[in-house]
Structure 1
Amino acid sequence: MNRRKGSLVLIALIVIFSSFTLVKKTNAENNYYKNEMQHLHTAIEHHFHDAVSGYYFVDLDPAKRETKFGHKREYSWLWALCAMFEATNEIEKVDKNAHLVAGIFKSMQYYYDPAPPKPGYGEYIVKLSKGQRYFDDNQWIGITGLDIYERTGNKKYFELGKSMYDFMMTASDTTLGGGLYWRENDFETKNTCSNGPGVLVALKLYKATKEKKYLDTALKIYDWTNKRLQTPEGLFYDNIKIKDQSIGKAIFSYNTGTMLQSNVYLYEITGEKKYLERANKIADNSLEYFYGSGKFRDGYWFNAVLLRGYQQLLNHNKDMKYVLGFKKCLDNALKENKNDKGLFAAKDGIYNLVEHGGMLEILARFAHLEDRYDLGISK
């Protein structure tokens, strides 16, 4: 009898141990992208963050850091910090104890330029080499700031978003019927990259305040961008030239991403099904164009912006095909493009900060997704 009881206990222990092993394996699979996210963030801080100055480097290789205005610009452009700002915000959604956003926000203050007509952020560290102010850079900051405000209720980030709206509206005039210019004091083009995110800044402010002027602004920019820059297939061209109204026909994933997400927001705000129908059409057409080959067509950060749209659309369209199509490209990049330092080369072979910020955001978003959906096993 004792021997039998001992055997039953042994069997029970084996079953429990086996179940524990299975749970451990399942948890490891579920945390695949979260682990990749954490490893990449560590690698970025180790290789790109200059502990002496507190600045971030623009590129991993000192020999490849850019020279402009007669001297080398070795530190990061604002654009890359915009990427890191959004990436760290997404990390904080996954890891409530990360506390990373404030550090990036502090780093961005080196780029702050209070010059008239409205304060904004310049392309480079102001005290080292003051350059142009790009409206899209400031819009990316505004989008993230308002997202942080929605998540945390911290009014500092609401004020940041409103300030970025005020700055971007200095880019507005009636030339070609409306729209926003790309960069300050440059009246050559109006670009999707300064109009798509402009819609999002205005919509996020409307969502936060319910002030009609923000929705009115968003709809005006949205309508203009669709009329002037949308392709017959529902994607988006890069820009329109003011002088002759010719179209810059490059098609980038981030331009499609901002307009996809704008449609989802408009559906959520207005309840009008036409916006959800447009969002679905954009998602369908973008899936094959950008991800049909199984490899990313353009840069990681560009793709991160389109992923934002796919992720928000998932709240209303439960078809996982968009996320899974994107996932195939991501898994290939993780398998084929990561070096022994845990870093990723851009297509030109350069290891720059903006693409790492983009990949970090992608991994953070997939860490969020893998915790809520069955994405299959990734290796």
Structure 2
Amino acid sequence: MFVLISAPILRLSDPMKKLLTIALLLATTSSLFAQQSDKYKREAETVTDYIQEKFYDSKSGVYYKTTKHERLDWVWLQSVMFANLAAAARIEPEKYGDKLDAYFKALDGYWDDKAEIPGYEPGLTKGNGHDKYYDDNAWLAIAFVEAYETNKDARYLKRADATQTFVLSGWDDEIGGGIWWHERHKDGTKNTCANGPAAVGCLVLAEHEPQKSAALIQKARDIVAWTNSALQDDDGLFDDRKVVATGEIKRGKLTYNSALMLRANLGLYKATGEKAYLDEAIRIGKAADWFLDENTGVYRDALRYCHFMIEADLELYAETGDTHYLKRAQHNVDELYARWEANRPDDMMSSACLARVLWLMSEVEVK
């Protein structure tokens, strides 16, 4: 709503006029973004409720992979839906808090507490499995910390800690360090997709476990240092994995690899105050324009990968105030939602990824 300024105002000094103009512009911008935030919240709710309707299995308490309901989804795909519900429950606790809690309990179907170091199997398990992926577990550890921050339920933090313990057990000194992709060394590689989220997991846990904080921050330093030396390209972005036996780097850059390393650097900056980490996060953020389609300005990767970069964009914007990252995230979210409305995907994860970033966009504060 705009109000005409009466004549006496016009007699104000030029500096006063400028201040008044700026105040009006800020008020208008704030109002417009509040409307945008409401839009993102409505869209997030639409997508989340669609997932609940089309993919939820009331018997198991988890989600099907596709609308055909032929089988339940793998645990790393379930982890994205859990992160989505954690964000939803933070914003709409009365509607989604119980759903988050029920889902947390249902994920016990994937939890192998009979293993020497417990962790999540990719599918439902009876225990003593040997098919655990360190990256699957890293995503869940991060999401459980977020759930804990939502309602301070100690069960989430306890499970996050146990899950992160499994993740860090994947580190050894072959090729100078790094976390393996798979507990039985399937593929023989150490991957950015395991090391990036492992570092982030250390840092988010460190905020809530003061007795372990120093050790977790140091471990995050070690993981980031190794991943930088082993898998970072000259442009700042990250390749996929390194073959331990030969030292060969498997080339190919995906948004989620660079996104988690960006977040890890941001986390280390916040934990240590060392500006070099912030500078590195900004370098990765700028380099990520490479992932954008030159015609659409949308990340080229599938939603299962690029939603992580949108989240990293929002974190980098929150830290720096650089609107380039906000605009990049906003453009992607708007276009991806339009595509979703036009043709709703058959798989659960694509919708969960979109809903997750819509919830996050609804929380953004414009600087």
TM-score (norm 2): 0.84
- Alignment partner of 2:190: what SS? strand
Q: What letter matches 2:166 in structure 1?
A: F
> Structure 1 CA distance, aligned partners of 2:332 and 2:314?
16
Distance 1:91 1:53, change over 3 A: closer
Q: What letter matches 2:46 in structure 1?
A: H
The correspondence for 1:357, drawn from 331, 352, 355, is: 352
Shift of 1:215: 1.5
* Residue 84 of structure 1 pairs with residue 86 of structure 2: no
Distance 1:51 1:303, change over 3 A: same
Partner of 1:166: 165
Shift of 1:291: 5.7
Distance 1:311 1:25, change over 3 A: closer
Distance 1:152 1:27, change over 3 A: closer
> Structure 1 CA distance, aligned partners of 2:331 and 2:32?
22
Preserved CA contact (<8 Å) 1:291 1:326: no
Shift of 1:190: 0.2
Partner of 2:16: none
Partner of 2:366: 373
The more displaced of 91-100 and 107-116 is 91-100
The more displaced of 226-235 and 138-147 is 138-147
Distance 1:131 1:356, change over 3 A: farther
Preserved CA contact (<8 Å) 1:291 1:329: no
After superposition, the CA RMSD in angstroms is 2.4
Partner of 2:282: 280
Shift of 1:114: 1.6
Partner of 1:132: 131
> Structure 1 CA distance, aligned partners of 2:309 and 2:32?
31
> Structure 2 CA distance, aligned partners of 1:207 and 1:106?
24
Unaligned ranges ≥5, structure 2: 1-29
Partner of 1:153: 152
- Alignment partner of 1:243: what SS? coil
Shift of 1:242: 1.2
Distance 1:145 1:200, change over 3 A: same
Partner of 2:339: 336
TM-score (norm 1): 0.81
Q: What letter matches 1:37 in structure 2?
A: A
Preserved CA contact (<8 Å) 1:203 1:218: yes
> Structure 2 CA distance, aligned partners of 1:363 and 1:166?
31
> Structure 1 CA distance, aligned partners of 2:150 and 2:83?
13
Shift of 1:29: 4.3
> Structure 1 CA distance, aligned partners of 2:88 and 2:276?
33
- Alignment partner of 1:240: what SS? strand
> Structure 1 CA distance, aligned partners of 2:32 and 2:260?
37
Distance 1:206 1:45, change over 3 A: same
Shift of 1:199: 0.6
> Structure 1 CA distance, aligned partners of 2:37 and 2:130?
44
Partner of 1:321: 324
Shift of 1:125: 1.3
Shift of 1:306: 1.8
Counting only pairs closer than 5 Å after superposition, residues 43-122 of structure 1 correspond to structure 2 as 43-62=50-69, 65=70, 74-97=71-94, 98-99=96-97, 100-122=99-121
The more displaced of 282-291 and 331-340 is 331-340
Distance 1:61 1:173, change over 3 A: same
Tell me how many residue pairs correspond in the alignment: 332
Q: What letter matches 2:167 in structure 1?
A: M
Preserved CA contact (<8 Å) 2:130 2:184: no
> Structure 1 CA distance, aligned partners of 2:280 and 2:270?
13
Partner of 1:19: none
The more displaced of 85-94 and 125-134 is 125-134
Q: What letter matches 1:96 in structure 2?
A: P
Q: What letter matches 1:192 in structure 2?
A: T
Preserved CA contact (<8 Å) 1:182 1:190: yes
Shift of 1:26: 8.3
Preserved CA contact (<8 Å) 1:117 1:170: no
> 1:351-378: CA deviations, max 9, x gaps?
2122221111111111112xx339xxxx
The more displaced of 207-216 and 38-47 is 207-216
Partner of 1:242: 244
The more displaced of 308-317 and 41-50 is 308-317
Partner of 2:25: none
Preserved CA contact (<8 Å) 1:267 1:275: yes
- Alignment partner of 1:190: what SS? strand
Partner of 1:205: 205
Distance 1:113 1:324, change over 3 A: same
Shift of 1:150: 3.2
Distance 1:180 1:25, change over 3 A: closer
- Alignment partner of 2:240: what SS? strand
Partner of 1:296: 299
Partner of 2:233: 231
The correspondence for 1:36, drawn from 43, 48, 51, is: 43
Distance 1:196 1:26, change over 3 A: closer
Q: What letter matches 2:339 in structure 1?
A: E
Preserved CA contact (<8 Å) 2:137 2:163: yes
> Structure 1 CA distance, aligned partners of 2:153 and 2:227?
32
